[in-house]
Amino acid sequence: MKNVSNRPRVVIVGAGFGGLAAAKRLAGKRVDVTLIDRRNHHVFQPLLYQVATAGLSPADIAGPIRGIFSRAPNIRVLLDEVTGVNVFDGEVVLKGGTKLDYDWLILATGARHSYFGHDEWSAHAPGLKSIEDALAIRRKVLLALERAETETDQRMRLALLTFVVVGGGPTGVEMAGAIAELAQRSVSRDFRNITPRCSRVILLEAGERVLPTFPPELSRAAERSLEDLGVEVRLRAPVRDIGDGYVDTAKELIFARTVVWAAGVTASPAADWLQVDKDRNGRLFVEADLHVAGHRNIFAIGDTANAPGIGGAALPAVAPVAKQQGKFVADVILGRRSGTFIYRDFGNLATIGRSRAVVDMGRLRMSGFIAWLTWSAAHVWFLIGFRSRLAVTLNWLWNYLTYQRSARLITGEVEFSHPQPRSQPLERKCA
Positions marked active-site: 174
The one-character DSSP state at 120 is: G
- Cβ burial, residue 243 (10 Å; 0-12/13-18/19+): middle
What span, in angstroms and rounded, lies between the C-alpha atoms of 283 and 420?
Answer: 41
Integer-rounded Cα radius of gyration of the chain = 23
- Nearest C-alpha neighbor of 156 from the set 166, 165, 147, 164: 147
- Nearest C-alpha neighbor of 93 from the set 158, 11, 184: 11
- Locate all alpha helices (DSSP H) within 334-428, ordered by sequence: 369-381, 386-402
Q: Output the CA–CA distances (angstroms, integers) from residue 166 to 105, 127, 173, 230, 317, in the order listed.
A: 36, 10, 10, 16, 19
Contact 96, 80 (CB under 8 A): yes
Strand-pairing partners, residue 163, are 201, 258
- Cβ-Cβ contacts under 8 Å for 370 (sequence gap 6 or more): none
How many Cα atoms are found within 13 Å in the side-chain-facing hemisphere of 318? 16
